[in-house]
Amino acid sequence: MQPIIECVPNFSEGVDLNIIKQITDQIETLDGVRLLNVDPGKATNRTVVTFVGNPVAVIEAAFLAIKKAGELIDMSKHKGEHPRMGATDVCPLIPIANISMEETAKYAQRLAERVGKELQIPVYLYEAAQPDKTRSNLSVIRAGEYEGFFKKIKQPEWKPDFGPAEFDAKRGGTVIGARDFLVAYNINLNTTSTRRANAIAFDVREAGRNIVVNGEKVNKPGTLKSVKAIGWYIEEYGVAQISMNLTNINTVPVHIAFDEVCKKADARGIRVTGSELVGLVPLKSLTDAGKYFLQKQKRSAGVSEKELIKIAVRSMGLDELGPFKPEERVIEYLLKNKADSKLVNMTLTDFADETASESPAPGGGSISAYVGALGVSLATMVANLSSHKKGWDDRWEEFSQWAEKGEQYKNELVKLVDADTKAFNQIMTAFGLPKSTDEEKVARSKAIQEATLFAIEIPLKVMEISYDSMEVIKAMAEIGNPNSVSDAGVGALCARSAVMGAFMNVRINASGYDDKIFIAEVLNRGREIENKTIALEAEILKIIDGKLGN
């Protein structure tokens, strides 16, 4: 797989949409780059742009955007709440897939050198791209902002890494670097006081505040690691905010930052009314937040991804200042190929119609995967019902864990619905390749074998997951809400059908694969799973028959 990096330049224009579009149009001219999000802010007079792609294309797109921003934005006239020092204020590169931070830093250095040399803009490196760690912190580099840049750039210790050591009144300076994924997050307060907002920001940010102890100034750290924060007043909304950068969301995720600000605000007589995410967010940040708030309520966290996101949005008030649309704000959703989930995004009627049509796909493999998903979904439902059953309050966590496990199995099987049809289509494509020359025949034969192997592996995976999911089904038959025991029974029937149906697909596809030793191993594995499934289904049905008693 090719390496993928993300670029999140911040441009000092958040009001004039025409200027913003001219800048983002430059990004979209490049093949190999995908523009994911454009998030302008009027009060900050700043736009955060997010795009991804292969490294070479990304740094070319970034260069063109920086060039255009320098042409269109006049920093001598710029005013905004957010700290800034240039038309393109900051331009970080973030490793996303199949590339290291060290490699990403080299691309940032290459971009910075080109911007300094060709555009004659003063450029500073930061974070992983900056070899001198005494000047790698963005807030330190940007201290004094645009207004103080004229004097700062003349100081020997603040000579730019690239470009002229001359103050550019129109374009200012630019900071380019490489860093881990960062979440920009603002928390809204029921006050208009910047001073009080700053006090809360100092309470929580890692840098904390300086205090006097026994006549000496000492630093008192804040309560949250890997968090930068300031307070400001947003005239557009008429509220003060805590503006935060969460620089390590594994250490301090969004929901922990939100809750901690709530505690510190409450201690100062201030109430948090909601919050807003700036730019994009990883899916895990929202699903983890949804689980966190459900667990605080002692509710089952084994619910769908969509429901977890809804809980997160409501709990943190992410839609207070405007609609929060996950399909536009979650990075995984924006990167997702819609063709990979064509079937599962259909209505039930459309899916049935597509299956019944003259097209050979979706076929038995996709149907087996979906039947397996339905089976474990029933068990997950029983777990959720049991978690919330009156009188079983002390067992909510036990059933929540079963429900979460069921959700994981369900999600894996749902993905395999489209994967099986994709596997079939790859076989058909391979058979359609030209075979006029010896070279074409060899290439076609290789493609057929590769596609056939994929078509064997997918239904085998359906078998394995469907069988594994029966642990949840059996547990719910044994300990779940007795009023829903029949649902667990239907889940067992579905799981058995999924395993047996998928094995038929393994067998029919195996006949076209040349490696007979491998095929013998696969068929033995398939028969083993099938036999264990039938035996486990019998155990579950015996439990259910005993509970039904008629």
Positions marked active-site: 82, 420
| In contact, 78 and 146? CB cutoff 8 Å | yes
Beta bridge partners of 232: 241
Q: What is the 3-state secondary structure (H, E, C) of 245-259?
A: EECCCCCCCHHHHHH
Number of separate helices (H) and strands (E) present in the chain: 17, 13
Does 156 sit behind a cis peptide bond, omega within 30 degrees of 0 on the bond before it?
Answer: no
Question: Which helix (H) or strand (E) element contains residue 365?
Answer: helix 364-387
Which of left, alpha, beta for 269 (phi over 0: left; psi -120 to 50: alpha)?
Answer: left
Closest to 469 (Cα-Cα) out of 522, 531, 537, 515: 537
- At residue 229's C-alpha, the angle toward residues 225 and 263, to 5°, is 70
CB-based contacts of 79: which residues, under 8 Å, 6+ apart?
Answer: 45
- The tokens 């900051």 sit on which residue? 90
| In contact, 49 and 292? CB cutoff 8 Å | no
- Write out the two tokens for 345: 């995004």
List b or e across 206-234, with b for residues whose CB sees 16 or more CB atoms inside 10 angstroms.
bbeeeeeeeeeeeeeebbbebbbbbbbbb
Q: Output the CA–CA distances (angstroms, integers) from residue 37 to 8, 149, 304, in the order listed.
A: 9, 30, 25
How many CB atoms are located within 10 Å of the residue 71 CB? 15
